[in-house]
Amino acid sequence: MEISKTLQPRSALLFNKADRLELTLCQNLNRMGAFRPVRLFFKAISRLGDGVFWYSLALLLPLLMGMDSIAALGHITICALLCVAIYSQLKNRLVRQRPFISWEAIRAHTAPLDLYSFPSGHTMNAVNFALLFSAFYPPLLWLVVPFAALVALSRVILGMHYPTDVLVGAALGLTIGWGSLLIWPAGMFAGINL
């Protein structure tokens, strides 16, 4: 893990207030992880949400859609890379500590990828992927939307994020995915023969 950075006084005050407002909900959800079956289930969901689920789905897409899916996968990949760039920059600039670091009452039920929690990168990517996979292959909606919701929930239950981290991550993922479809309704690589 990297050395903790310091927040600007204004950001620190805002996060401190938000942390205190969210603590009870965060604790209640985190306590669910004390039950081994719940903890193992959400650890698995979170691990799959690291990319395993989405990359596997991407590999299956050509079987479902044929070679036309390559253009859709290009669009999805560009948006995923944009998500990673945005949440990495935000986390490193806003440096909100993870709940289990800030509060003794919150347990880490999995290992963190870094020190900071705002916004939730897992949720941001999950919502972006769910939206785009659903847009390009609508029958997947019933699989990807519930999975994205479970990924978001897992991040709070496992003690990695506050609810606002997840909500902001979801909003950003939705904005990136939806925005890309508004600009390129058929996908940014539509009409390109691959």
Give DSSP secondary structure letters for 56-98: HHHHHHHHHHGGGHHHHHHHHHHHHHHHHHHHHHHHHHH-PBP
Give the side-chain half-sphere CA count within 13 A for 154. 27
Report angle CA 52, 87, 80 to the nearest 5 degrees: 45
Cα–Cα distance for residue pair 167/169, rounded to 1 Å: 5
Cα-Cα-Cα-Cα torsion 111, 115, 117, 119, nearest 10 degrees, comes to -110
CB 104 within 8 A of CB 40: no
Catalytic residues: 122, 161
Q: Which residues contact 111 (CB under 8 A, 6 or more apart)?
A: none
Cα–Cα distance for residue pair 11/120, rounded to 1 Å: 17
